[in-house]
Structure 1
Amino acid sequence: MPLMKALIPVAILLWVPAAGWAQPDVKTDVTRTDGKVTATGTAKVVATITAIDAPTRKVTLKTKAGKVVDMNVGDEARNFDQLRVGDIVTVEYNEALTVSLKKGSGPATMQEKPIEQRAGAGAKPGGMVGREVTATAQVVAVNKEARTVSVKGPKGHIVDLMVEDPDQMKNIKKGDRVEAVYTEAVAVSVTPGTGK
């Protein structure tokens, strides 16, 4: 089924600069089965805590490449008082998109559910937060010459999806449904450093 190979890397690149990090370790993977494509991507950044301002809950981090960034840690983050200068902070961003065909018709739908896991009391700060979005879109046009399928989502937006394998277009027709499941999560972990 259709999927833009650049989707995951672009989303990761959009996220990483926003966080102020430089040169993350980025891995992507695309797998295909009959009528289904899954793309996954992971970006990982490791930094060392070089300063902590407890009253303002500001932490200064330095990557191996020498990039320094200040990060404000919100009150929702547990165990802030466990942080120490020299601790290693790992931020990992995971994203996955699966697109598959579902024969039939019906309304376009979208459901979103949050994903959250926080560090336990007394443990080093960390956890994971994210979301999973499941959407069903209606096929509104098929262009076999251009190898595109146009789908209309629940908010009325129409998106053209490139289909790399022409054989996958043989059974796609107007009125079919496409289901997409998108997940994204940011995980942060802290490991003790040498301390300073």
Structure 2
Amino acid sequence: MGGIVKQGKWGVCGFVSVLNALHMNGKLKEFGTELGIESVQKRLVAEVITYLKVRNLQNPTITNEILTFTKSFGHPYNRYTGVPDLIRHLERELKSSAHDTASVINQGGIGVAMPTNAVADYADFAGAQCSIKRTVPTSLSQASLIKHRECAVGIGYNGGLRHWVYVDNNGNLYNWGSVHALADSSAKPPNLDRFSHIYGVVQL
């Protein structure tokens, strides 16, 4: 599987971590045919919207948790008045970009923050069998991260979850559109210097 699903400047790392896991394992398909990275990338925003719409009908508790967590990141993410308002913002951004995901995700100012149980729920929604592996905070290093292969890993600082990354079965870190090989080292993972702890792990 080539390529990596990118999130641009959008705060949709929970979705992207799960999609990268599915893509790298050849599990993203349509009518039995594997989707290429270009197709996955183009559908990213529509996928987020679809998930929120469906789950807001089926399980509003989970979407309200997503809304609350998103608003905890402050401006401009605290402007949403409810889940329908969050969905409208996403639809407006997608429409204004003429459905060009590569363009819209690089504009910034949009986020859908996912607590651990929501990442697990999205993985289930996307067709991946998963389980929440751990939630006890653990110091972040390459060594602690590489232990969680084939996982979406939630990291953060100051006592709170703030970002999701994916670690594949070979110990490679997928983060912000880049892939880095991890080592059994006490050093911080590449480009994650500001994060101090692991707060959640979803086995994919």
State TM-score, norm by structure 1.
Answer: 0.24
Give the helix-richer structure, 1 or 2: 2
Larger Rg: 1
State TM-score, norm by structure 2.
Answer: 0.23
